[in-house]
Amino acid sequence: MESSPLIVPAPWKLTGDGMVWLYSIPKAFNLQYGFLSDFQKNTYKTGVGAVMLMNYQTSDAGPYQELLYIPALFSVQGKLAFSISKIYVSTESSALRGRQNWGIPKEVAEFSFLNFKEGTRTVEVRQGSSPFFSAQVKPWGPKFPFTTRLFPLNRIVQQQGGRFLLTQPEAHGRAQLASLVKIYSESSFFPPVQKVKPLATVRLSDFLMTFPVPEVV
């Protein structure tokens, strides 16, 4: 059984690599499949969102993997921010501390990654015997530096009890465009993003991310 520290407070520093799919998501899709909470339905602004699949090699809660869905931009207390409506992580420690520190509704699942020649990567996420999410990407072109400091709306808002927590993570590392070979998710576990065409697929590597103490809004 996984041992978990009693307290792993913010801020966290994380390193690793991952994959990001950027989308323009129809509101009807999010209302049907997006696992929106009541506050997300009530504060919905526009369906600019993403799927992120991260492999954290180090973090304050130890190594773990993560799959998350960002359906749209939201407006809470006059502040525009993204919000996570569905998220899975590979360890109980990350799940518990993510909920406590930032109000992120993490659930636990099993992850498997496979790497093939020429940089192709395949991943599966499962609960039980059958995977509910699978994807394969093939990076192409040169790597280039990225930093979240170039994006003024790089923040997320989550509800924790009767309050809203606004967090502005920072990250920098290397990025590379990629081709989406295949993607599939089972709608009872995760939005069926195979029904929506991504605007871009990006492979991230060698990044350092900081998740700070959230602001209560």
What domains are there in the chain, each with its CATH number? 12-108+139-216 (2.40.400.10)
The pLDDT value recorded for residue 4 is 47
The pLDDT value recorded for residue 152 is 63
The pLDDT value recorded for residue 118 is 73
Residue 80 and residue 156: Cα distance in Å, rounded? 9
| Averaged pLDDT for residues 87-103 | 96
Residue 160 and residue 151: Cα distance in Å, rounded? 25
Q: What are phi and psi of 119, to 5 degrees?
A: 85, 0
| Averaged pLDDT for residues 100-122 | 90
**Contacts (Cβ under 8 Å, ≥6 apart) of 72:** 25, 27, 30, 34, 40, 44, 45, 46, 47, 48, 49, 82, 83
Asked whether residue 34 carries a pLDDT value surpassing 80, the answer given is yes
Looking only at Cα atoms, what is the longest distance across the chain? Answer: 49
The residues pairing with 54 across neighbouring beta strands, listed in sequence order, are: 18, 66
| Averaged pLDDT for residues 69-97 | 96
| Averaged pLDDT for residues 1-20 | 79
Decide: 88 and 99 in contact? Cβ < 8 Å.
no
The pLDDT value recorded for residue 1 is 43
